[in-house]
C-alpha cells in the first residue's frame, strides 16, 4: 500500500509513475488526497473537541467541590452537546479513514524506473538467456504424453478425485517431485535462507498484508465457514511472520525459505496452453523471501536473481530472464524479473519463477519496520522469489531430457532421486 505522506509530498511523481500501469492516475491520486484532507481536518476537529471536553470535565469537578453547582450544571449541559459533536465526528472519521484505506488498497505499487512501458507479456524485455534448446526428434512428446507413457503423473485420476488441475504424481514421478523440493530447499538454506514450515491457510489480515486481498480477480480459494483462505503462494504466510514487527537495523536482512503446496482458482484458464502441468489449481513451490534495509534491497534483488540462475544452470535447462513491463507487472511489485524455461516439445517458454522487489508496499500494510540510525521507525523493503515453482520445471525436465529409451534425470538431482532415468 502506498504511503499517503509520500503521495502528498510527491504528487506529480506518483501520477507519472502510476500512468505506466493504470488509466487516469490523476483522478485516483486526487481522490486519495481529498480523502486525506478530509480525514486530517476531521481529526483536528475531533482532537479539539476532545481537548475541550477534558478541560471542562476537570473544571466541573472543581466547581462542584467549591459549591458552584449552578455553573457546574451549566457546563455539564455543554459537555452533552460536545459529546454529541464528538460522536458525529467519530463516525465521520471512521468512514473517511475506511474509504481512504479502501482506495489505497486498490491502488497498485509504483513501478521502478527500469520497468518498461507495455500492455501485455508481449512487451516484456528479455535481459538474459542461457543454454541451448535440445534438438529433439519430430516425434518428441509433450510432458502430458510422457507422463502417461511412463505412468508417473495421472491427470485423469486427479480429475476423478477432485477435478481438473489436481494431478496425482505416481512412482518415479512422485520421487522426482520430492527430489526437486529437497534440492531447492538445500540450495536455499546453503545460501543463507532459514527454512520455515508455515500454515497453508491464512486469515484476512495476512492476505491484506501481502496484497493478495482484496482479491479482485477471484483467484483465491475461500473457506467461508472459518473465514480463511487457501494460500496462493508460500509468500503470504511466510512474509506475515514479520507483520507488526519492529527490527533493529542490525537485525536485517531477514532471509526465509519455505516449501508449500499452492492453491489458485485460475479462473478463465482454458485451452492447449494450460494443458498438463502448464496451469494447475494445486501445485508445489519453494519460495525465498527477504526483509531488507531500503538502501540494500535492489542489491538483494540482484542476489536473488543470481541465485535462481545458479539453480537453473545446475539443472542444465535452457532459460531466459524477462524484465516485466508495466502492463504485466504484479499489483504489489515495483520491479519483477520472470524466469522462463524452454519447453522443447511444446516449443514455447514456460514461466518457472518470479523475483520481485515490493519496496515498502507490503511493509506499509504489514507495519513491518526497523529502527534506523536515528532511532526512528522506518518501513523495511520486502522481496520475494520462486526458487522454484515445480510444475513447469518438471515439465521442462520431462520434455528436454527425453530420449529414445526414456527420460534422463539431471545429474544434480540423482543423489535426491536415487535413480538416473525413467523408462
Q: Where are the domains of the chain?
A: 4-105, 121-422
Look at residue 66 and tell me whether its pLDDT is greater than 90.
Answer: no
Percent of the chain whose predicted confidence (pLDDT) is above 70: 98
CB 143 within 8 A of CB 399: yes
Other beta carbons within 10 angstroms of residue 403's beta carbon come to: 13
- Partner residues linked to 354 by β-bridges: 338
pLDDT band at 139 (very low <50, low <70, confident <90, very high): confident
Averaged pLDDT for residues 43-70: 85
pLDDT band at 56 (very low <50, low <70, confident <90, very high): confident
- The CATH code that applies to domain 4-105 is 1.10.287
Four-way CATH pick for 121-422: 1.10.220.10, 3.30.390.30, 3.30.470.10, 3.30.930.10 = 3.30.930.10
Averaged pLDDT for residues 36-40: 97
Closest CA to 284 of 167, 206, 194: 167
Look at residue 232 and tell me whether its pLDDT is greater than 70.
Answer: yes
pLDDT band at 269 (very low <50, low <70, confident <90, very high): low
Q: What is the dihedral sign for C-alpha 324, 325, 330, 333?
A: positive
Look at residue 315 and tell me whether its pLDDT is greater than 70.
Answer: yes
What are the pLDDT digits (tens) for 292-302?
Answer: 999 999 999 99
Closest CA to 335 of 3, 16, 113: 113
For the CA atoms of 191, 197, 202, 208, the dihedral, rounded to the nearest 10 degrees, stands at -20
Question: Which residue's C-alpha cell is 517431485?
Answer: 177
pLDDT band at 76 (very low <50, low <70, confident <90, very high): confident
Q: What mean pLDDT is reported for the chain?
A: 94
Look at residue 272 and tell me whether its pLDDT is greater than 60.
Answer: no
Look at residue 268 and tell me whether its pLDDT is greater than 90.
Answer: no
- pTM beyond cutoff 0.75: yes
Radius of gyration of the chain (CA): 27
Cβ partners under 8 Å of residue 85, min gap 6: 49
Closest CA to 290 of 379, 358, 231: 358
- Give the C-alpha separation, 120 to 153, whole Å: 32
pLDDT at 67: 76
Amino acid at each position: 500500500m502506498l504511503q499517503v505522506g509520500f503521495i502528498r509530498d510527491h504528487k506529480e511523481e506518483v501520477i507519472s509513475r502510476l500512468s505506466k500501469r493504470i488509466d487516469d492516475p490523476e483522478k485516483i491520486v486526487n481522490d486519495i488526497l481529498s480523502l486525506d484532507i478530509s480525514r486530517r481536518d476531521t481529526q483536528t476537529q475531533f482532537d479539539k473537541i476532545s481537548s475541550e471536553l477534558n478541560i471542562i470535565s476537570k473544571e466541573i469537578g472543581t466547581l462542584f467541590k467549591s459549591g458552584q453547582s449552578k455553573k457546574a450544571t451549566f457546563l455539564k449541559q455543554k459537555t452533552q452537546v460536545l459529546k454529541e459533536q464528538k460522536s458525529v465526528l467519530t463516525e465521520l472519521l471512521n468512514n473517511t479513514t475506511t474509504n481512504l484505506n479502501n482506495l489505497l488498497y486498490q491502488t497498485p505499487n509504483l513501478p521502478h524506473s527500469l520497468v518498461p512501458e507495455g500492455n501485455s507479456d508481449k512487451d516484456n524485455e528479455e535481459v538474459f538467456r542461457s543454454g541451448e534448446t535440445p534438438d529433439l526428434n519430430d516425434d518428441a512428446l509433450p510432458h502430458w504424453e510422457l507422463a502417461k507413457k511412463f505412468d508417473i503423473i495421472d491427470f485423469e485420476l486427479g480429475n476423478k478425485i477432485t477435478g481438473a488441475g489436481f494431478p496425482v504424481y505416481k512412482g518415479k514421478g512422485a520421487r522426482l517431485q520430492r527430489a526437486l523440493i529437497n534440492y531447492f530447499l538445500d540450495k536455499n538454506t546453503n545460501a543463507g535462507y532459514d527454512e520455515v514450515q508455515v500454515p497453508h491457510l491464512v486469515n484476512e489480515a495476512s492476505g491484506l498484508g501481502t496484497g493478495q486481498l482484496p482479491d479482485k480477480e477471484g483467484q483465491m480459494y475461500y473457506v467461508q465457514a472459518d473465514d480463511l483462505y487457501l494460500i496462493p503462494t508460500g509468500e503470504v504466510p511466510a512474509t506475515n511472520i514479520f507483520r507488526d514487527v519492529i527490527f533493529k537495523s542490525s537485525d536485517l536482512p531477514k532471509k526465509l525459505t519455505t516449501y508449500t503446496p499452492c492453491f489458485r482458482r485460475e479462473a478463465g484458464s482454458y485451452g492447449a496452453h494450460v494443458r498438463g502441468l502448464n496451469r494447475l489449481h494445486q501445485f508445489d513451490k519453494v519460495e525465498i523471501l527477504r526483509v531488507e534495509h531500503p538502501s540494500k534491497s535492489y542489491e538483494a534483488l540482484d542476489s536473488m536473481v543470481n541465485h535462481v540462475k545458479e539453480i537453473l544452470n545446475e539443472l542444465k535447462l535452457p532459460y531466459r530472464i524477462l524484465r516485466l513491463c508495466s502492463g504485466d507487472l504484479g499489483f504489489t511489485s515495483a520491479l519483477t524479473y520472470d524466469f522462463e524455461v524452454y519447453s522443447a516439445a511444446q516449443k514455447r517458454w514456460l514461466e518457472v519463477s518470479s523475483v520481485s522487489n515490493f519496496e515498502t508496499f507490503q511493509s506499509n500494510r504489514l507495519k513491518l519496520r526497523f529502527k534506523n540510525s536515528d532511532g526512528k521507525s522506518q518501513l523495511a523493503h520486502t522481496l520475494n522469489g520462486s526458487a522454484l515453482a515445480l510444475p513447469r520445471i518438471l515439465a521442462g525436465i520431462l520434455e528436454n531430457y527425453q530420449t529414445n529409451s526414456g527420460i534422463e534425470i539431471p545429474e544434480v538431482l540423482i543423489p535426491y532421486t536415487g535413480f538416473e532415468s525413467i523408462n
